[in-house]
Amino acid sequence: MHSNADKNTLPRHARNGRSCQVCGSTRISSLRPAGIVRHAVADLIEKETGQWDENGWICLDDLHRFQHQHVENVLKAEKGELSQLEQEVLDSLQQHETLSANPDVEFDAQLTLGQRLADRIADFGGSWTFLILFGVVILAWMMLNSFILTTRPFDPYPYILLNLLLSCLAAIQAPIIMMSQNRQEDRDRLRAIRDYQVNLKAELEIRHLHQKLDHLLSHQWERLVEIQEIQMELINEIRARR
């Protein structure tokens, strides 16, 4: 048995007898009352460790670990096997990281030089600038071979060389536009994936908040009932004394 002097030399948390009932940690800054743990998480802890005391303490690391495991079990029960996307959402919940990001920046960072060049060509080919320049070049070509170089035109009417160049331009422009459209589909697919992850995390966070509020309200109701019982006992004692 410790003397009073020995007790005074012990750390504060040791004198208070506070320790995590899962790992035994006595770091007072990370300990939380077991009463704040939701019933579903408490049942999981009791199933894993074989013991649980609502009047005891639990450290934040174990609390977050079992909360993460509870959310993972709920997702598996609802969706079956978890995909990589859902696992990333669970990891971000456990690490308290921000999951939302700009998919355009993420997608553009992976583009090669050829893909960037194809996108620029496709953008230029679908603009009014290209149409105006295209019309000016064709009109100048026709005027040059029909009116200016009347004696020795390099492409006389019906402008066979011009038709060949236009055919080559269309043959080159079509696959470039298709490549750009395929990348746009990939960009939209990445946006849909990120939206799904953010929505799933928001749904889990909202569910977690609802469960926490229900748990706090139930504990508050129990406290109010206890206070009411104490008040009734005091009233009965006062009446008995009279």
CB-based contact 93:71 (threshold 8 Å): yes
Residue 50's SS3 state is coil
Number of domains in the chain: 2
For residues 24 and 129, state if they share a domain: no
- Verdict on whether the full-model pTM lies above 0.75: no
| Residue 233 is assigned to a structural domain of this protein | yes
Identify whether residues 61 and 107 lie together within a single domain. no
Last residue of one domain, picked from the residues 15, 41, 66: 66
Residue 93 covered by a domain: no
Range of the domain at 107: 101-242
Q: Are 218 and 138 members of one domain?
A: yes
Token digits of residue 9: 């030399």
Paired strand residues for 33: 57
User: Are 118 and 27 members of one domain?
Assistant: no
Q: Is residue 91 part of a domain?
A: no
- 123-180, pLDDT tens digit by residue? 888 889 988 999 999 999 998 888 888 778 888 888 889 899 999 988 988 888 888 8
Distance CA 242, CA 240 (A): 5
Q: Look at residue 138 in the predicted model and tell me its pLDDT.
A: 92
Mean pLDDT calculated for residue range 196-202: 78
Q: 153 with 146: CB under 8 angstroms? A: yes
The pLDDT score that the predictor gives to residue 3 is 41
Domain assignment present for residue 147? The answer is yes
